């Protein structure tokens, strides 16, 4: 009987220790999960703010090219920003949905890590995709401003300079695409250029991913 009592007491003690470990793990993980959710909600909120801004810009671009549709260069300027705004709206909505899918999920940590990695890749890719066109768009933005506020058409005033500057922008944009593709394929992740491309996804997402890794490592 003493041996059976000893076995029972040992089993109860082991069960209590296991429960304490579970509670300790939950106490350690809970604030990190909450911090992760805060970062994802902040990211989603920023995307919704950008969404509203790009909706306004897209509407303004549409009114500009409709109003100036009889002038080819002004029509193309307005259409360029209209299409860019639509693309930016799609990007903002998609990012927010991907972030909310992670935030509202009770999936295992590994599944959350995969979803967050997907969000980081999409964010980095779209940051590059939305950023590189500004090698050309800055000139079109200046054209838009001058026509709308000053009544000046830069293309009509200096068509050679305008087209040459736009051509340089196109070359720079294509070069940026080439450099980015080469860096992703050939450079080590520790290289400064590769790190710069990876950081396009934003520091908040990078910190969120580190916290998920900590949670997974501690659980293991």
Render pLDDT for 168-213 as a digit per residue (tens, 0 to 9): 999 999 998 888 777 666 666 666 565 665 666 555 555 555 555 5
Beta carbons of 113 and 216 less than 8 angstroms apart: yes
Beta carbons of 116 and 205 less than 8 angstroms apart: yes
CA dist 96 to 41, 71, 92, 134, 175, Å? 9, 37, 6, 23, 30
Quickly tell me which residue has 């997907």 as its tokens: 118
Question: What pTM value is reported for the model?
Answer: 0.75
Closest C-alpha among 108, 123, 109, 105 to residue 43: 123
Closest C-alpha among 89, 35, 32 to residue 59: 89
3-class secondary structure, 96: helix
- Say what the pLDDT of residue 56 is: 95
Higher pLDDT, 141 or 127: 141
- Say what the pLDDT of residue 171 is: 95
CA-atom Rg of the chain in angstroms: 26
Looking at every residue in the chain, the average pLDDT score rounds to 78
Closest C-alpha among 214, 18, 50 to residue 127: 50
Which tokens belong to 61? 């671009």
Render pLDDT for 5-36 as a digit per residue (tens, 0 to 9): 555 656 666 666 565 554 544 554 565 667 67
Beta carbons of 83 and 58 less than 8 angstroms apart: no
Distance CA 205, CA 40 (A): 7
Distance CA 81, CA 77 (A): 7
Render pLDDT for 103-132 as a digit per residue (tens, 0 to 9): 655 656 666 777 777 888 888 888 888 999
- Say what the pLDDT of residue 120 is: 82
Closest C-alpha among 123, 148, 120 to residue 57: 148
CA dist 35 to 32, 106, 120, 161, 181, Å? 5, 15, 17, 51, 33
Residue 19: partners with Cβ closer than 8 Å, 6 or more residues away: none
DSSP 33-93: HHHHHHHHHHHHHHHHHHHHHHHHHHHHHHHHHHHTTTSHHHHHHHHHHHHHHHHHHHHHH
Going by pLDDT thresholds of 50, 70 and 90, the confidence category of residue 164 is very high
């Amino acid at each position: 009987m003493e041996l059976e009592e000893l076995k029972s007491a040992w089993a109860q003690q082991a069960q209590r220790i296991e429960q304490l470990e579970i509670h300790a793990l939950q106490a350690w993980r809970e604030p990190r999960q909450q911090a992760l959710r805060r970062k994802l909600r902040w990211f989603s909120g920023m995307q919704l703010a950008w969404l509203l801004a790009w909706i306004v810009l897209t509407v303004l671009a549409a009114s500009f090219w409709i109003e100036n549709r009889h002038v080819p260069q002004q029509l193309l300027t307005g259409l360029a920003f209209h299409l860019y705004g639509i693309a930016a709206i799609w990007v903002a909505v998609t990012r927010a949905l991907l972030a909310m899918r992670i935030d509202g999920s009770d999936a295992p940590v590994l599944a959350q890590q995969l979803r967050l990695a997907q969000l980081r890749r999409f964010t980095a890719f779209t940051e590059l995709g939305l950023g590189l066109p500004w090698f050309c768009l800055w000139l079109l933005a200046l054209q838009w401003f001058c026509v709308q506020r000053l009544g000046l058409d830069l293309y009509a005033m200096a068509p050679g300079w305008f087209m040459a500057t736009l051509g340089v922008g196109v070359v720079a944009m294509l070069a940026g695409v080439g450099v980015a593709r080469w860096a992703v394929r050939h450079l080590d992740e520790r290289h400064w250029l590769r790190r710069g491309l990876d950081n396009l996804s934003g520091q908040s997402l990078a910190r969120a991913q580190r916290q998920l890794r900590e949670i997974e490592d501690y659980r293991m």
